[in-house]
Amino acid sequence: MRRLRRALANGQVLLACAILGLFFAAAILAPLLAPPDDPEDPSPFRVVGKPLGGMPQPPSREALLGTAPGQLDIYYTLVWGTRSALRFGLIVAVGTATIGALVGSVSGYFGGLVHGLITRITDGFLAFPGIVAVWLLGHVMMPVSVFEDPTPVQQAFLDLHLSPVLLALILFSWMPYARLISVKVMQLKQAEYVLAARAVGMRSTRVIRRHLLPNALSPVLVLAARDVGAMVVLAAALNFVGLSGGSEWGQLLVVGRDYAIGSGGNPFTYWWVFVPATLTLILFGIGWNLLGDGLNTVLDPRIVR
């Protein structure tokens, strides 16, 4: 209850909740804010007018934020892209935090050779470039061409609807969580209540689950909150450079990048092609960063209010 009062009194947390509340509201109310052509199977993209019209069109009654090349409705994609952005960011953050917490708790609790081995494995994952992992998993999980039959492994991934970039980011982003939890658990395992639990014969898995993890999760929650926004922005960046195709917001920037600079070098000639999508990504990242910073203040036991 005290922490809840501290959270409600924290300006950063309130601002973050206001910003993120807009995104969650847009995701929930997407069918009302941007009615799809097929309510049973809504697409994140909608074409306004003739798709072969070529030039992006400015904001109008039919497209509130204008259209991208190919006459893609920018407003419609921003609204429906919120759902996939929140889903992607939360899945990656929860997945990486879970793996990191489990690995870090085992490393910190057992120490010694176990800690040394896990630390070396963690360092190895840190040394492996994440962008290479995205490229590698993309080629392993997806057919190179639409005209090429998928292999049994690729078909399995397709049936499970797994995204290569999502899986790559989960598999190669858990290391900071493991390090945080490992250090925290090594400190907590010397506490009297942990020593007492071990003295009465409580199993190691139960000690970790009941006594160590609950008291070591504060920094993980802070890092996970920041990672939700960071992973969505990273996915859009990978989409922009051609390494993935899972970000609708990133796809808007891809199709409109040739119009970022208009005739005569004027960047505002086709401003609606890149400004709305860019601001949406920035605001999304800021919201989750503010939430992480606010949680850091609220959950820090050294700060007394």
User: pLDDT per residue over 83-104, tens digit each?
Assistant: 999 999 999 999 999 999 999 9
**Which has the minimum average pLDDT: 101-105, 138-142, 162-166?**
138-142
What band does 277 get if pLDDT is binned at 50, 70 and 90? very high
pLDDT at 41 over 90: no
Q: Could you tell me the pTM of the whole model? A: 0.86
* 66 assigned to some structural domain: yes
CB 280 within 8 A of CB 27: no
Decide if 150 is inside a domain: no
Q: What is the percentage of the chain residues whose pLDDT exceeds 90?
A: 31
pLDDT band at 1 (very low <50, low <70, confident <90, very high): low
Of 135, 137, 107, the C-alpha closest to 121 is 107
pLDDT at 133: 78
Backbone angles phi, psi at 52, to 5 degrees: -90, 15
Structural domain contains residue 294: yes
In the predicted structure, residue 280 carries a pLDDT above the cut 50: yes
**Least confident interval from 59-68, 95-104, 256-265:** 256-265
> What's the pLDDT score for residue 205?
79
Out of 141-145, 203-207, 242-246, which region has the weakest mean confidence (pLDDT)? 141-145
Asked if 240 contacts 253 with a C-beta cutoff of 8 angstroms, the reply is yes
Checking if the pLDDT of 247 tops 60, the result is yes
CA distance linking residue 180 with residue 34, whole number of Å: 42
Q: Is residue 304 part of a domain?
A: no
CATH of the domain at 98: 1.10.3720
> How far separated are the first and last CA of the chain, in Å rounded?
13
Answer whether residue 140 is part of any domain: no
> 84 is in which domain, residue-wise?
2-128+172-299
Report if residue 31 sits inside a domain. yes
- Per the structure, how many domains does the chain have? 1
Q: How is residue 195 written in tokens?
A: 């020593």
The predicted structure's pLDDT at residue 189: 80
* Structure tokens that stand for 8 in this block: 């409600």
Binned at pLDDT 50, 70 and 90, residue 212 comes out as confident
| Model confidence at 252: pLDDT above 80 | yes
In a domain, 95, yes or no: yes
Separation of alpha carbons 137 and 169, rounded Å: 10
